[in-house]
Amino acid sequence: MSRLQDKVAIVTGASRGIGRAIALRLAGDGANLVVTATSLERAESVATEIEALGRKALPLACDVAEFEQVESLIKGTTETFSRIDILVNNAGITKDNLLIRMNQEQWDDVIAVNLKGTFNCIRAATKTLMKQRAGKIVNITSVVGIMGNAGQANYCASKAGVIGLTKSVARELAARNIQVNAVAPGFITTDMTAALPEEVKENLSEAIPLGRMGSPEEVAACVAYLASEDADYITGQVINVDGGMVM
Residues identified as active-site? 155
Nearer to ligand NAI, 95 or 176 (CB): 95
Using CB under 6 A as the binding rule, whether residue 125 contacts ligand NAI is answered as: no
Question: Environment class of residue 20 by beta-carbon count within 10 Å: exposed (0-12), middle (13-18) or buried (19+)?
Answer: buried
d(CA 212, CA 165): 30
Q: How far is the CB of 155 from ligand NAI (least distance, A)?
A: 7
CB 35 within 8 A of CB 57: yes
Total of residues contacting ligand NAI (CB under 6 A): 28
8 A C-beta contact, residue 24 and residue 47: no
40 binds ligand NAI (CB under 6 A): no
Distance in Å, CB of 162 to ligand NAI, minimum: 8
Looking at 4, 7, 11, 13, which residue binds ligand NAI (CB under 6 A)? Answer: 13
Q: CA angle at residue 85 from 80 to 87, to 5 degrees?
A: 95
Beta carbon nearer to ligand NAI, 44 or 176: 44
Residue 178, strand partner residues: 135
Residue by residue, DSSP assigns 17-39 as: HHHHHHHHHHHHTT-EEEEEESS
Q: 36 and 43 in contact (C-beta within 8 Å)? A: yes
Cβ atoms 96, 152 nearer than 8 A: yes
Q: Is 64 in the site for ligand NAI (CB under 6 A)?
A: yes
Among 65, 115, 160, 231, binds ligand NAI (CB under 6 A): 65
- Those residues with Cβ within 8 angstroms of residue 176's Cβ, 6 or more apart along the chain or in another chain: 129, 130, 133, 134
Report the residue number, 54 or 105, with the smaller CB distance to ligand NAI.
105
**Which residue in the set 188, 222, 223, 245 belongs to the binding site for ligand NAI (CB under 6 A)?**
188
Site string for ligand NAI, 142-171 (x = CB under 6 A): x-----------------------------
63 near ligand NAI, judged by CB under 6 A:
yes
Q: Is 81 in the site for ligand NAI (CB under 6 A)?
A: no
- Least gap, CB of 114 to ligand NAI (angstroms): 6
DSSP per-residue string spanning 83-152: ---EEEE-------B-GGG--HHHHHHHIIIIIIHHHHHHHHHHHHHHHHT-EEEEEE--THHHH--TTB
Given candidates 40, 93, 204, 221, which one binds ligand NAI under the rule CB under 6 A? 93
Please pick, from the candidates 4, 7, 9, 12, the single residue that binds ligand NAI as defined by CB under 6 A. 12
Residue 214 DSSP symbol:
B
Does 59 sit near ligand NAI (CB under 6 A)?
no
Q: Which residues bind ligand NAI (CB under 6 A)?
A: 12-13, 15-19, 37-38, 62-65, 90-93, 113, 117, 140, 142, 185, 187-188, 190-193
